[in-house]
């Protein structure tokens, strides 16, 4: 437990700050796409950049634990009472320069609104990231990516509140260590992204199509072809909906955190041994089809979804009455069917991770940020 209390002084200071709304009732189950998680000490909604800076610096100065929350689409939060304050980023300024393709968005802008607006304006570069839920400020945190594109392809800089110094400054994308579902902001309390700047292209065409399923769906005939941005967005949304990867409150297959495990990067020797295991269990042709991509320095990237499936976890696992189960559309999404607690989801995650490890010797690593709870 934190030994710092939310004194009346701090409450008063937060309440009196323009652009801040306090809420003592919200639970993380209201704030996350998994609809899971207990109650923070307080929820602080920040409608402006200045409000977010004031809230975070005041809470940090008082040594009160806090969690920055955007759309809650990459969070697994413990049940029960949480000893932290939820600071929700809700600043929604969006500027698009049609001549230069420069885009500046507040951290709280819904990411897909940025994609929709830029695509409508004929700007290219983020159309493959259509339909990813959550806020714009979170996109650099795990370097969001889909269909062969990543935010790092277009991110120029972020306006960052450095929580150790209280300084607010623009930080170049090159200083964020952006990699596969990684940055030096993820799993740390280094800073708060206040604004994001992107450089898009202005010729109305997409980034080169790098994902086979997408290129085939569009009818592209050559590898790395560029395509009208609106068509790419439409096709990406179609593919994502088919996999339950566009949030729909009425569809429990989308009550998830998206892909639950990252695709494992393993030594080539382990990748060879996984292929042998697959050959033994499933036969030659399945082994030959195993997705495996060179990842440099004697390593290969494997597909987490494929391994989960080949380890015997079918879509919908374990059964129709389980409160937490694999999506019926995609083995890589762990879902809440409406009545789950976080503990149910964690049990399922553990079962899947252990099953894949037992079968193939590969330990899958969860992609979301875990708060107050662990898979170990």
Ligand X SMILES: Cc1cc2nc3c(=O)[nH]c(=O)nc-3n(C[C@H](O)[C@H](O)[C@H](O)COP(=O)(O)OP(=O)(O)OC[C@H]3O[C@@H](n4cnc5c(N)ncnc54)[C@H](O)[C@@H]3O)c2cc1C
Contact indicator for 70, 52 with CB cutoff of 8 Å: no
Total chain residues near ligand X (CB under 6 A): 34
Q: Among 51, 64, 146, 239, which residue interacts with ligand X (rule: CB under 6 A)?
A: 146
Catalytic residue from among 183, 259, 300, 327? 259
Q: Please, which of residues 187-206 interact with ligand X by CB under 6 A?
A: 192-193
Q: Among 139, 235, 277, 336, which residue interacts with ligand X (rule: CB under 6 A)?
A: 139
For ligand X, give the closer residue by CB, 310 or 330.
Answer: 330
> Minimum CB separation from ligand X for residue 32, in Å?
7
Q: Residue 270, Cβ neighbours under 10 Å: how many?
A: 16
Residue located via tokens 């790395």: 224
- Of 14-22, 71-79, 98-106, 270-278, the window that binds ligand X (rule: CB under 6 A) is 71-79
For ligand X, give the closer residue by CB, 142 or 341.
Answer: 142
Residue located via tokens 């020797």: 269
Q: Among 17, 48, 54, 74, which residue interacts with ligand X (rule: CB under 6 A)?
A: 74
Beta-sheet pairing, 42-46 with 85-89:
parallel
The dihedral through the CA atoms of 349, 350, 355, 360 has a sign that is: positive
Note whether 72 binds ligand X by CB under 6 A.
yes
For ligand X, give the closer residue by CB, 164 or 285.
Answer: 164
Note whether 104 binds ligand X by CB under 6 A.
no
* 248-252, long-range: CB < 8 A, 24+ apart: 252/335, 252/336, 252/337, 252/338
Round the CA-based radius of gyration of the chain to a whole number and report it. 21
The pair of three-digit structure tokens given for residue 79, joined into one six-digit string: 């049940």
Note whether 142 binds ligand X by CB under 6 A.
yes
Would residue 367 show up in a list of annotated catalytic residues for this protein? yes
Note whether 145 binds ligand X by CB under 6 A.
yes
Q: Please, which of residues 12-41 interact with ligand X by CB under 6 A?
A: 33
Contact indicator for 162, 95 with CB cutoff of 8 Å: no
Note whether 101 binds ligand X by CB under 6 A.
no
Note whether 327 binds ligand X by CB under 6 A.
no
Q: Among 78, 82, 107, 311, which residue interacts with ligand X (rule: CB under 6 A)?
A: 107
Beta-sheet pairing, 145-146 with 149-150:
antiparallel
Q: Among 247, 290, 340, 364, which residue interacts with ligand X (rule: CB under 6 A)?
A: 247
Note whether 133 binds ligand X by CB under 6 A.
yes
Q: Please, which of residues 208-227 interact with ligand X by CB under 6 A?
A: none
> Minimum CB separation from ligand X for residue 311, in Å?
22
CA angle 33, 198, 32 (to 5 degrees): 10
Q: Among 29, 45, 54, 73, which residue interacts with ligand X (rule: CB under 6 A)?
A: 73
Instruction: Give, for 191, the enclosing helix (H) or strand (E).
Output: strand 191-199
Q: Residue 293, Cβ neighbours under 10 Å: how many?
A: 12
> Minimum CB separation from ligand X for residue 285, in Å?
29
- Alpha carbon separation from 337 to 39, 79, 230, 251 (Å, rounded): 20, 16, 33, 9
Q: Please, which of residues 39-68 interact with ligand X by CB under 6 A?
A: 67-68
Contact indicator for 99, 18 with CB cutoff of 8 Å: no
Would residue 259 show up in a list of annotated catalytic residues for this protein? yes
Question: Rounded CA gap, 311 and 242, in Å?
Answer: 23
Q: Among 369, 370, 373, 375, which residue interacts with ligand X (rule: CB under 6 A)?
A: 369
Would residue 2 show up in a list of annotated catalytic residues for this protein? no
Question: How many residues in total does the chain contain?
Answer: 376
Please give the distance of CA 281 from its chain centroid, rounded to a whole number. 33
**Footprint of ligand X (CB under 6 A):** 33, 67-75, 89, 107, 132-135, 137-139, 141-142, 144-146, 185, 192-193, 245, 247, 254, 256-258, 369
Name the residues annotated as catalytic. Answer: 181, 259, 367
């Amino acid at each position: 437990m934190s030994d710092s209390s939310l004194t009346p002084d701090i409450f008063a200071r937060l309440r009196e700050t323009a652009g801040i709304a306090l809420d003592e009732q919200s639970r993380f189950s209201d704030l996350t796409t998994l609809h899971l998680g207990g109650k923070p000490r307080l929820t602080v909604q920040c409608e402006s950049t200045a409000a977010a800076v004031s809230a975070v610096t005041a809470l940090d100065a008082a040594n009160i634990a806090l969690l920055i929350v955007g759309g809650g689409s990459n969070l697994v939060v413990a049940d029960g009472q949480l000893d932290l304050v939820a600071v929700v980023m809700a600043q929604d300024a969006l500027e698009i320069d049609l001549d230069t393709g420069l885009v500046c968005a507040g951290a709280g802008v819904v990411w897909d609104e940025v994609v929709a607006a830029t695509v409508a304006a004929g700007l290219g570069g983020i159309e493959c990231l259509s339909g990813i839920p959550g806020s714009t400020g979170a996109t650099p945190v795990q370097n969001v990516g889909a269909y062969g594109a990543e935010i790092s392809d277009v991110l120029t800089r972020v306006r960052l509140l450095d929580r150790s110094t209280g300084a607010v400054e623009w930080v170049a994308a090159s200083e964020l260590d952006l990699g596969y579902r990684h940055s030096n902001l993820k799993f740390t309390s280094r800073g708060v992204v206040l604004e994001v700047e992107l450089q898009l292209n202005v010729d109305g065409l997409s980034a080169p199509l790098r994902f086979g399923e997408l290129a085939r769906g569009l009818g592209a005939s050559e590898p790395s072809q560029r395509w009208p941005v609106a068509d790419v967005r439409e096709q990406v949304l179609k593919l994502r909906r088919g996999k339950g990867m566009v949030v729909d409150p009425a569809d429990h297959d989308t009550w998830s955190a998206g892909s639950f495990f990252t695709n494992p990067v393993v030594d080539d020797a382990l990748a060879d041994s996984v292929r042998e295991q697959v050959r033994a269990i499933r036969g030659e042709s399945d082994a030959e089809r195993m997705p495996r991509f060179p990842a440099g320095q004697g390593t290969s990237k494997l597909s987490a979804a494929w391994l989960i499936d080949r380890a015997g976890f079918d879509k919908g696992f374990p059964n129709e009455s389980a409160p937490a189960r694999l999506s019926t559309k995609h083995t890589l999404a762990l879902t809440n069917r409406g009545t789950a607690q976080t503990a149910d989801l964690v049990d399922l995650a553990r079962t899947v991770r252990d099953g894949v490890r037992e079968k193939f010797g590969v330990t899958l690593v969860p992609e979301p940020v875990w708060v107050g709870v662990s898979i170990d």
